[in-house]
Amino acid sequence: MDSAQEIENHIFRLQKPMNDVIERGDSSVQQFYRDATVFVTGGSGFIGKQLIEKLLRSCKIKKIYLLSRCKKGQTIQQRLQNMLKDQLYDNLRSRQPQFADKIVPVEGDVADIRLGLNEKDWKKLTNEVNIILHVAATVRFEEPLRKATFTNLRGTREALQLGRECTKLKKFVHISTAFTHATKSRIDQEVLEQFYPCPIPPDTMIALAENVDEDRLNAITKDLIEGWPNTYTFTKSLAEEFIKTSAGDLPVCIVRPPIVLPAFYEPGPGWLDVTTLAGPSGIYLGGGLGVIHLYCTSENSTMAIAPVDYVNNAIIAAGWDSELRRKEGKTDVPIYTLTKNITFGDIVRSMEKNGDRYRPPAAIWYAFIFLVPNRHLYKFLALFINYIPAFILDIICKIIRRKPKEISSFVDIYNKLDKLGVVYDYFLTNDWMFKDHNLRKMIERMSAEDRAIFNCNVKTIDTEEFILAWGIGLRRYIMKDGLLNTHNANRNQKIFRVIHYIVTILYGYALYWVTKTLYSLAVYAVSMFL
């Protein structure tokens, strides 16, 4: 058996406590969702897809309504069919072959008034839905403020209005982010599971987005979001403020996940989709393929993360726990935060220690990565380590009319990498102490069965095992190589290493020769004018 498959099988065994009890269906959380009709926004996104899978696999759900919109010439039914082809659903498919019959897409758009739903669908939802899981959001940090407001803030307002009109509503779960109030003024301070003041009333912000010219709105965005690093966290904070001020007696709770990374062990080790590559997963993959050798961050830079399966377990459990709190007479809106800290050094050390066990055969060069904490030094080194070699390789690929199918151009990779570095820089160079009192209390209230089925205790995750699962997921779900030929990959790495050292020496000599020649020409040119 390939060593990569052995890692996968080892991590699969972490499912045993869950599998031993999940089929009984008699735990408290499972009973809360039994025969429920659920409405999910953002169900086609990274979190939403796995949330739907886990709900159907773990609970006897009656029906899931999925908010969807036509996209790229596909109807909502076609989009659903394509989504369900994902390997994510293979385990569920083997257990419940007809599970897709429980998923009903309804056409709409979270950024539109009344979620873009027609009157018939709106009425159907208000008559049938028991639980609303509001996952939809634009997570692009650089999103224009108008679009971020419509999607993240106004979308929440419209979803809450739907909840108010639902005659059988048991719970409204709003998915926020741990970084909602990770403002500049709170760097190195505690961020509690509570509401914080916002600089502008949510209704005012919606009115601005609806009535102010977009160019003018873009011009004042920097002043409007002062203290927040981007429009994403700013509008998510306003969405929370809207819930605080207008939810009234709706049964609402909020879940704040951090940077959401691939699954740890369910439904399969390291499950992820291509959308996650515009983040840490892309850096991990690029390093493993021998494409990325330099990144601007410190070895000790901390990322507040959580695997997507733990996030969705927390979302599901929070619905049950917040209802339990209401029955105890607690009328506040509970907020649940889950975060685990890992560093880029953890990832690099794991790759160095365990790389031979899961190295991808698709690697195109010797795999190593340098972490450079100083951005000015990084830009200098990137010119010689990234851009000049990339430019040369792109020319060679054009001449021979061949290039690796995984990439568009080498220069484009590094342009995207640098843009990604700027986007994440705020979160990687600063720290906050995220408190998770409500989450820990919820875990304590859960039965042993529910803790096994809906494991959301990120503090117990073995960092090295998770990074292994992450690497396995990149191979299984992105490179789709069947976790085969790891031995050949290691053999190729030995060859690449020798070639790398030879090329580096020749490249260094060429740079020396070019620099020396340019210097001589410069001296000669100056002497001609003196």
Written as one string, the DSSP assignment of 417-474 is HHHHHHHHHHHHH---EE--HHHHHHHHHS-HHHHHHT---GGG--HHHHHHHHHHHI
pTM of the model: 0.93
Identify whether 193 is part of a domain.
Answer: yes
The encoded tokens of residue 53 equal 């899978």
Identify whether 28 is part of a domain.
Answer: yes
Q: Residue 161: which pLDDT band, with cuts at 50, 70 and 90?
A: very high
Return the H-helix or E-strand segment holding 254: strand 252-256
Compute the average pLDDT of residues 68-83.
Answer: 90
For residues 472 and 187, what is the distance between their CA atoms, to the nearest angstrom?
34
User: Which residue type sits at 208?
Assistant: L
pLDDT digits (tens, 9 = 90+) for 8-29: 999 999 999 999 999 998 999 9
What CATH code is carried by the domain that includes residue 70? 3.40.50.720
**In which region does residue 227 sit, left (phi positive, over 0), alpha (psi from -120 to 50) or beta (all else)?**
left
Identify whether 19 is part of a domain.
Answer: yes
Identify whether 521 is part of a domain.
Answer: no
Compute the average pLDDT of residues 341-366.
Answer: 91
Compute the average pLDDT of residues 476-489.
Answer: 94
Identify whether 256 is part of a domain.
Answer: yes
Lowest mean pLDDT among 24-28, 463-467, 507-511: 507-511
Which residue segment(s) compose the domain that 337 sits in? 9-265+303-342+432-460
Query: What is the per-residue pLDDT for 404?
Result: 59
Residue 134 scores a pLDDT above 90: yes
- Residues 6 or more apart whose CB falls under 8 angstroms from that of 254 comprise 173, 174, 175, 176, 240, 243, 333, 334, 335, 336
Q: Residue 218: which pLDDT band, with cuts at 50, 70 and 90?
A: very high
With 0-12 / 13-18 / 19 or more C-beta atoms within 10 angstroms meaning exposed / middle / buried, residue 423 is middle
Q: Residue 405: which pLDDT band, with cuts at 50, 70 and 90?
A: low
Query: What is the per-residue pLDDT for 408?
Result: 67
Residue 86 scores a pLDDT above 80: yes
Identify whether 523 is part of a domain.
Answer: no
Residue 490 scores a pLDDT above 80: yes
Residue 299 scores a pLDDT above 90: no
CA-to-CA dists, residue 363 to 200, 349, 418, angstroms: 49, 19, 21
For residues 530 and 528, what is the distance between their CA atoms, to the nearest angstrom?
6
For residues 261 and 305, what is the distance between their CA atoms, to the nearest angstrom?
7
- Residues 6 or more apart whose CB falls under 8 angstroms from that of 506 comprise none
For residues 310 and 313, what is the distance between their CA atoms, to the nearest angstrom?
5
pLDDT digits (tens, 9 = 90+) for 358-385: 999 999 889 988 899 888 899 999 998 8
Strand 131-134 versus strand 103-107 pairing type: unpaired
Query: What is the per-residue pLDDT for 142?
Result: 85
Residue keyed to tokens 């880029």: 344
Q: What does the radius of gyration of the chain's CA atoms come to, in whole angstroms?
A: 25
Which residue in 14, 176, 19 sits closest to 94, CA to CA?
19
- Residues 6 or more apart whose CB falls under 8 angstroms from that of 418 comprise 296, 382
Residue 406 scores a pLDDT above 60: no
Strand 252-256 versus strand 335-337 pairing type: parallel
Residue 154 scores a pLDDT above 80: yes
Identify whether 399 is part of a domain.
Answer: no
Identify whether 58 is part of a domain.
Answer: yes
How many domains does the chain divide into? 1
The DSSP 8-state label assigned to residue 74 in this structure reads B
